[in-house]
Amino acid sequence: MNMRKVFLASVAVFLMAGWGPAMADDAKPYAGQTITVLFPPWTTLPKDMTDRFTAQTGIKLDLQTLGWDDIRTKIVTSMVAGSAPADVTEVDWSWVGQFGAAQWYVPLDNSVKSDLPTDAIFTYDGKLIALPYNNDFRLLIFNQDHLKKAGVDHAPTTPDDLLADAKAIKAKGIVSFPIGLPFSATEGSATAWYLLTKAFGGELFDKDFKPLFTTPDSAGYKALAWEMQALKDGLIDPASTGLKDVEIQELFKNGQISFDVAGWAGNLSVYTDPTKSKVASAAVGALMPNVSGKTRTFGLPGAAGIPVASQHKEAAAVFVKWMVAPENQIESYTVLGNLPTRTSVLQTLDNDGKLASGKVLLEQAGSVEPLFKQGTPGWYPQFSSAVATALNQAAKGQLTVDDAVKQIAVGATDAQK
């Protein structure tokens, strides 16, 4: 099995140079082939789009959807068994280290690099293993009505401002727990802490992956202390120990919290939609607060990649490339709410006034950096669940801030073994 894996991995598939429908119209070299595509539910491409793809390329699509955690189980099972889960699958930014090290995905060639800044996140060992089609990064989303009622006229720019504003909102009795942050032992809790670590001006690891968050003057330590302080001051619901990020978002939509601290960029379109949200007119985005005067955030994009065991690599490559063509990114945004990954497409959408809080979104998009400068390491998932577990324990009062960061550091060392 391993021999086969190495052999297949060495067969690099290069995307053709041309982009957009023009090239598809010229020739349909893979007409008649059918490729299977495995995506999460939020990328269930509408029939119009898949029909158009087939018309342009002659390639038929067999679109499969699986729940989020389940896609990964499916990919791992089939790849370990030496067969392809599908010809094209979702590749999350957090899987890059593992799937890259395992050489499970065909290296791709990206000819629009400058327009797709997030492709760095999907580069492992110099090879691009998937092409990002679904943009995601974190920013602060807040309820401006709550803030106004509390007598505050601008968005908080530092973490301390945020605490002060939340206290003012709580004091006025506008909502009982103004700050929304998840503390369940799930991935969303961990990513919120990473974001706050950036907000406090630091990094998680140095270049040798040694933890940088263990001393009280470090950004990671301060970020955790900040979260615990907010919890202790009653600014965060103690029930957050059981809440996932999606449930925090429900609270925001219902107007029960004022700040979605680790808000998802793509969610602004949901929050401002009156059919989905009770706070549609009040929800606005703001640059992530910070201590240095320069806003920072990190990217968590989704991408499409081609497993090495795929039998239709060339046809699959045509599809992957098609996913990032401008008109498809725009349609994917308007129909599914998937934020485009191409800077030029974001710009176009904003010019057309289709982007909620567009100016902020674009500015924050410009500040997106990868969580790990070296690229997502293979041990990231193990580290991340250690983080989520420790945060959950700290929020339940089972660990002090000091013990929690130490436990996370131990988790990091274990994961790297």
Partner 1 sequence: MTQQAALPVGAMPRPERRREVVPRDERWLGLAFAAPVVLLMAALVFVPLGLTLWDSLHRVDPMRPGTPFIGLQHYIDLMSDTNVRQAWLNTVAYVIIAVVLETLGGLGAALLLQRIRVGRRWLLAAVILPWALPPVVNAIVWMWIYNPSYGLLDGALLRFGLISAPRVWFNYRATALFLVSLVHVWRMMPLTAVILLAALQSVPRELYEAAKLDGAGPVQAFMHVTLPLIAGGLAIALSQSTVFAFNLFDEAWILGGSSLDTRTVVAQVYMSAFQNLHFSYGMALSVLVMVASCLVSLVYVMRVYRETRYG
Partner 2 sequence: MRAAALTRRFGLWLATGALLLWSLGPIYWAVATSLTAPTDLVAQPPHFLPPRVTFEHYGKLLGATSSYLGTDIQSVWPQFSRALVNSLVVSTLATVATVALAAFGSYAFVRLRFPGRNLLFVLIVGTLAVPAYTVMIPLYRLLVCLHLIDTYLGITLIYVSAFLPLALWLMRSVYQSLPLSLEEAARLDGAGRTYTLLFIVLPIAAPGLIASAILTFLSAWGQFMIPLVFSPTLATKPLTVLIPEFVTKNYVDYGLMNAAGVLAILPPIAVVLFLNRYLVQGLMAGSGK
- Residues interacting with partner 2, by CB under 8 A? 36, 38, 40-42, 44, 46-47, 62, 64-68, 70, 73-74, 77-78, 80-83, 85-86, 246-247, 249-250, 254, 256, 264, 266-267, 269-270, 273, 275-276, 278, 334-337
Binding mask 328-367 for partner 1 (x = CB under 8 A): ----------------------------------------
Helix axes 187-199, 245-253, angle to 10 degrees: 80
Strand partners, 205: 211
Work out whether strand 283-286 and strand 138-143 pair parallel, antiparallel, or are unpaired.
antiparallel
Give the range of 208-216, 257-265, 326-334, 390-398 binding partner 1 by CB under 8 A: 390-398
Following CA atoms 399, 403, 407, 408 in sequence, which dihedral angle do they give, to the nearest 10 degrees?
90
- 124 makes contact with partner 1 (CB under 8 A): no
Q: Which of 33, 378, 394, 412 binds partner 1 (CB under 8 A)?
A: 378
Nearer of residues 60 and 74 to partner 2, judged by Cβ: 74
Cβ at position 190, least distance to partner 2 in Å: 16
4 and 79 in contact (C-beta within 8 Å)? Answer: no
* Integer Cα distance of 377 and 165 in angstroms: 37
Cβ atoms of residues 188 and 392 within 8 Å: no
Residue 230 contact among partner 1, partner 2, none, beta carbon within 5 to 8 Å by kind:
none
- Whichever of 59 and 415 has its CB closer to partner 1, that residue is 415
Alpha helices by DSSP H, 113-186: 144-149, 159-171
Question: 184 or 329: whose CB is closer to partner 1?
Answer: 184
**CB-CB contact of 210 with 194 (8 Å):** no
* 3-state secondary structure (DSSP) of residue 211: strand
Q: Using CB under 8 A, which of 89, 297, 329, 392 touches partner 1?
A: 392
Contact partner, 389, from partner 1, partner 2, none, Cβ < 5-8 Å per class: partner 1
Using CB under 8 A, which residues numbered 209 to 268 contact partner 1?
237-239, 241-242, 244
Question: At closest approach, how far in Å is the CB of 406 from partner 1?
Answer: 14
Considering the rule CB under 8 A, would residue 20 count as an interface residue with partner 1? Answer: no
Binding residues among 306-325 for partner 1 as defined by CB under 8 A: none
> Do you know the residue count of the chain?
417
CA 194, 41, 244 angle in degrees (round to 5)? 35
Cβ of residue 13: shortest distance to partner 2, in angstroms?
Answer: 22
Torsion angle, alpha carbons of 362, 254, 185, 295, to 10: 20
Nearer to partner 2, 306 or 401 (CB): 306
Contact 151, 231 (CB under 8 A): no
Minimum CB distance to partner 2, residue 250 (Å): 7
Q: 201 phi and psi, to 5 degrees?
A: 80, 20
Nearest to 162 by CA among 267, 299, 268, 291: 291
User: φ and ψ at 208, to 5 degrees?
Assistant: -95, 15
76 binds partner 1 (CB under 8 A): yes
- 82 binds partner 1 per the rule CB under 8 A: no
Tell me the C-alpha distance between 356 and 309, whole Å. Answer: 41
Region of 101-109, 205-213, 261-269, 343-351 interacting with partner 1 (CB under 8 A): 101-109
The string of DSSP codes covering 225-259 is HHHHHHHHTTSS-GGGGG--HHHHHHHHHTTS-SE
CB of 69 to partner 1, least distance (A): 9
CB nearer to partner 1: give 245 or 260: 245
Q: Which residues bind partner 1 (CB under 8 A)?
A: 2, 72-73, 76-77, 79-80, 98, 101-102, 104, 184-186, 237-239, 241-242, 244, 378-379, 381-382, 385, 388-389, 392-393, 396-397, 415
